[in-house]
A and B are shown apart, each in its own frame.
Chain A
Amino acid sequence: MNRKEEVLSRCIDEVLSGRSTVEDCLLRYPELRNELRPLLEIALSIQPPKVAPSPEFRSRLRRRLLDVMAPAEAYQGRKEVTHGWFSSLLSVRMVAVSLLAFVVLSTGTVSVFASQSSLPGDMLYPVKVGVEKLQIAVTSNPEDKAYLHLKLAQRRIDEVTTQVNLSRSPDFSGLATLSAQTDAALHEIEKTSHGDINAFLSHLAESAINQQIALGSIRTENGHDNVQQAMDTLQRVNLIAETAYNNAAFLNTRPSVNDESLEQGRFTVDGTLLSVAGRTWNIGGMVLSNVRYSGEVPAINSRIKIDGLNKSNEVFIIKLEQKNDAQEEVIIGGFFNGTDKSGKTWYVGEMPVNAPEGKTPPVEGKKLEVQGVTQNVSVTITDVKEQSGEERAREQDAKMEGKLSSVDVKNKVITIKVAGAQISLNIGSSKIHTKDGKEISLSELPSMVGKELKVLGLDKKDGTIYAKDIRIDVD
């Protein structure tokens, strides 16, 4: 082989794989440039069309092939036989029986192996799903089972991204099982008596973030609702993981990633800790009952800010921060959940407060920050601030919340802790704001280590996670 043939092959490979352009490659071989350019251009014009068989054709051909492949002796009543054979793949029991047939009759388990890379719409996909059910059925240790459920949830996401990469018209129906798998995993891990629950929760939080990023990168015209629903589910996973990481008892309330009201019970209370009696805490007049907190209770009369979740009549403290300066008022943050019948009590983050005189209640679901004073052992609102919501256009973006745990100013990398998992982000091109919208620079970040932050517009390239927008919880 002479040089021309070698160079042409090399340039074709580089251009087809996207590592180089026609110009860049030819620049390296000026003496061959004129001769090779037209050949290279012709080669690049012959590309397989970017089409994929439609889902309807896929299933039509699958049925036709099953019919064609039906054994001759089954010709009598062939329809029933082939359909029976195919639908038999759908039930766990029959998968077990067909596996048995393979183990016994074949020297191996070719189709079960082969089915593992199949995608929705493929002929062997029902076998894959059947084997998964079998795997669940034969796993008895709750911790192993919890991890297995998560692995299967991950598979559904991988299937969607693979279908998109293969230019197939994706079948999103598998995403619907995402929440069921995650709930099952949470249920199993709750049962474990000596498993490492926190390690599981860290793993859960980290996978949910990566899954959001993977789904967020899919841009197709169809299936928007399924993807959006899956994104919402994954965002709730973070809240559940974070809460349970700080309060293992939270898992006993059977939190579900489908529970859209979960976020409504999220609150912050910032004020002076007036008293603690058993599980009843009084912070600046705001009385919290059934408090669950795993850390050490701070000193009475110290100023604290807590971040928590109200669920099943219990208050789960996710984070407690002690502040040095004193504060007369109490500040409560959370979603506005409406009023009682009389309209005299407002609910913010599922907590009752006395309505301010003469003020019409905001729209339900608005995020509020109310300032109040203690009156007759309850809090009366003196000031209401509505927080701006995130723009709708961002809904399909991957986002996460966590605690800033380290800042590397030189490399523009920060680490965020979510349910114990350390997640590194490149923030080279991010905008950084305080919650009031004030822009801050990267060099100011190191002083904010330990603060809560929200990261929007996550994206992943070559294994590095990038963030578009950061909102840090400081005034």
Chain B
Amino acid sequence: MEGILNIGIPDLVIRCPFLEIQHTDSEVYILERAVKRDRMAFASLYDLYLDRVYRYVYYWLPSKADAEDITQEVFIRAWHAIDKYKVTGAPFIAWLTTIARNLVNSHHRSAKRLVPLPETDTVISDNPGPQAEAEMNFTRNYVADAILKLKGEKQKVIQLRFINDMSYEEVAKALNKTEGAIRVLQYRALKDLRGILEKDKR
């Protein structure tokens, strides 16, 4: 449907193609606008990615206060640097993750600790109860520690695939490789991870 919009300005009638709006907007288009510092476009990216960035940060810093501080900083830095982002088809979340990872790393360095004990946060679904949650956090800290010992692209693949919940296609675009190459890297990374975990256990 295309509607006619008359907003009361004399002699100005605008044809509105958006009165019946479908979810067909392309992210590339939004990104192109955002890179030109279009505030509304950036706001829509924020709406799209806030949850994912927060989850990513929370994985490394399982404390509500820390996760909120870092998430806020990620978006502020992203806005300041948005004009440097290149719309090449690589997922925007990978770019945000790079900012988030750097912030998490410097937080770790300054705090000289890896993963602190978690505070309670808004855990909604599958509420596992305090005991199970403590166990989950323990496993997570243990595995998180091991992930950081992975080398180069292996670490990136594991982070993007599992912590960022990205598909093979998205990871392939982010790392400029084929999907097949990502599957191979994933296998090797998990194998290395197993080695690190076994060594740590000993």
Question: If A45-B139, A46-B147 touch, does A106 touch B51 (CB 8 Å cutoff)?
Answer: no
Which residues of A from 23 to 75 have beta carbons under 8 Å from B? Answer: 38-39, 42-43, 45-54, 57-58, 61-62, 64-65, 68-69
Q: Are B59 and A48 in contact (CB under 8 A)?
A: yes
Q: Are B4 and A138 in contact (CB under 8 A)?
A: yes
Measured CB to CB, the nearest residue on chain A to B118 is: A49
- Which residues of chain B are near A118, meaning CB under 8 Å? 44, 47
- Which residues of chain B are near A47, meaning CB under 8 Å? 162-163
Q: Are B14 and A113 in contact (CB under 8 A)?
A: no
B171–chain A nearest beta-carbon distance, Å: 11
- Which residues of chain A are near B123, meaning CB under 8 Å? 49-51, 167
Question: If A69-B79, A110-B40 touch, does A38 touch B71 (CB 8 Å cutoff)?
Answer: no
Out of A4, A114, A167, which one reaches B124, CB within 8 Å? A167
Q: Mark A126-145, 1 if CB is under 8 A from B, else 0.
A: 01000100110010000000
- Which residues of chain B are near A103, meaning CB under 8 Å? 14, 16
Q: Are B55 and A51 in contact (CB under 8 A)?
A: yes
Does A195 have its Cβ within 8 Å of any Cβ on chain B?
no
Does B50 have its Cβ within 8 Å of any Cβ on chain A?
yes
- Which residues of chain A are near B48, meaning CB under 8 Å? 114, 117
- Which residues of chain A are near B190, meaning CB under 8 Å? 8, 39, 42-43
Mostly, the B contact residues are helix
Q: Are B23 and A117 in contact (CB under 8 A)?
A: yes
Q: Are B23 and A116 in contact (CB under 8 A)?
A: yes
Q: Are B187 and A39 in contact (CB under 8 A)?
A: yes
Question: If A42-B190, A110-B44, A124-B44 touch, does A50 touch B39 (CB 8 Å cutoff)?
Answer: no
Q: Are B183 and A64 in contact (CB under 8 A)?
A: no
The distance in angstroms between the C-alpha atoms of A116 and B76, with both chains bound, is: 24
The distance in angstroms between the C-alpha atoms of A114 and B21, with both chains bound, is: 10
- Which residues of chain A are near B200, meaning CB under 8 Å? none
Out of B24, B43, B197, which one reaches A65, CB within 8 Å? B43
Question: If A53-B68, A96-B5, A169-B124 touch, does A42 touch B38 (CB 8 Å cutoff)?
Answer: no
Mostly, the A contact residues are helix
Question: If A48-B55, A110-B44, A123-B47 touch, does A68 touch B79 (CB 8 Å cutoff)?
Answer: yes
- Which residues of chain A are near B175, meaning CB under 8 Å? none
Q: Are B40 and A138 in contact (CB under 8 A)?
A: no
Q: Mark B7-45, 1 if CB is under 8 A from A, else 0.
A: 101000010111101111100011001000011111110
B93–chain A nearest beta-carbon distance, Å: 12
- Which residues of chain B are near A169, meaning CB under 8 Å? 122, 124
Q: Are A64 and B33 in contact (CB under 8 A)?
A: no
Out of A51, A106, A109, which one reaches B54, CB within 8 Å? A51
Q: Are A8 and B186 in contact (CB under 8 A)?
A: yes
Does B101 have its Cβ within 8 Å of any Cβ on chain A?
no
Does A99 have its Cβ within 8 Å of any Cβ on chain B?
yes
Question: Interface range on chain A: under 10, 10 to 19, 20 to 34, or 35 or more?
Answer: 35 or more
Instruction: With a 10 A CB-CB cut-off, give which of A48, A64, A109, A112 has the most chain B CB atoms.
Output: A48
Out of B19, B121, B187, which one reaches A51, CB within 8 Å? B121
Measured CB to CB, the nearest residue on chain B to A165 is: B125
Which residues of A from 89 to 124 have beta carbons under 8 Å from B? Answer: 93, 96-100, 102-103, 106, 108-119, 122-124
Q: Are B50 and A116 in contact (CB under 8 A)?
A: no
The distance in angstroms between the C-alpha atoms of A118 and B47, with both chains bound, is: 7
The distance in angstroms between the C-alpha atoms of A106 and B38, with both chains bound, is: 9
A290–chain B nearest beta-carbon distance, Å: 42
B15–chain A nearest beta-carbon distance, Å: 9
Measured CB to CB, the nearest residue on chain B to A114 is: B44
Q: Are B50 and A113 in contact (CB under 8 A)?
A: no
Out of A1, A42, A48, A123, which one reaches B193, CB within 8 Å? A42
Q: Are B197 and A42 in contact (CB under 8 A)?
A: yes
The distance in angstroms between the C-alpha atoms of A135 and B1, with both chains bound, is: 11
Out of A50, A111, A135, A167, which one reaches B41, CB within 8 Å? A111
Which residues of A from 262 to 310 have beta carbons under 8 Å from B? Answer: none
- Which residues of chain A are near B148, meaning CB under 8 Å? none
B150–chain A nearest beta-carbon distance, Å: 11
B33–chain A nearest beta-carbon distance, Å: 5
Out of B18, B163, B194, which one reaches A131, CB within 8 Å? B18
- Which residues of chain B are near A100, meaning CB under 8 Å? 7, 9, 14
Which residues of B from 153 to 176 have beta carbons under 8 Å from A? Answer: 158, 162-165, 168
- Which residues of chain A are near B29, meaning CB under 8 Å? 108, 110
Does A6 have its Cβ within 8 Å of any Cβ on chain B?
yes
Does B85 have its Cβ within 8 Å of any Cβ on chain A?
no
The distance in angstroms between the C-alpha atoms of A58 and B72, with both chains bound, is: 10
The distance in angstroms between the C-alpha atoms of A102 and B44, with both chains bound, is: 14
Q: Are A52 and B76 in contact (CB under 8 A)?
A: no
Q: Are A106 and B59 in contact (CB under 8 A)?
A: no
Q: Are A46 and B163 in contact (CB under 8 A)?
A: yes
Q: Are B44 and A111 in contact (CB under 8 A)?
A: yes
Q: Are B21 and A1 in contact (CB under 8 A)?
A: no
Instruction: With a 10 A CB-CB cut-off, give which of B23, B80, B121, B190 has the most chain A CB atoms.
Output: B190
Out of B67, B76, B186, which one reaches A68, CB within 8 Å? B76
Contacts beyond the supplied A49-B140, A50-B124, A53-B122: 10 A-B pairs with Cβ under 8 Å: A39-B191, A49-B62, A52-B51, A52-B55, A61-B50, A69-B42, A99-B7, A100-B7, A117-B23, A138-B3
Chain A residues at the B interface, C-beta cutoff of 8 Å: 1, 4-6, 8-9, 12, 38-39, 42-43, 45-54, 57-58, 61-62, 64-65, 68-69, 93, 96-100, 102-103, 106, 108-119, 122-125, 127, 131, 134-135, 138, 164, 166-169, 220
Chain B residues at the A interface, C-beta cutoff of 8 Å: 3-7, 9, 14, 16-19, 21-25, 29-30, 33, 38-44, 46-48, 50-52, 54-56, 58-59, 62, 64, 67-68, 71-72, 75-76, 79-80, 121-126, 139-140, 143, 147, 158, 162-165, 168, 180, 183-184, 186-187, 190-191, 193-194, 197
Which 5 A-B residue pairs are closest in the complex by CB-CB distance? Answer: A111-B40, A114-B44, A113-B25, A122-B47, A46-B162
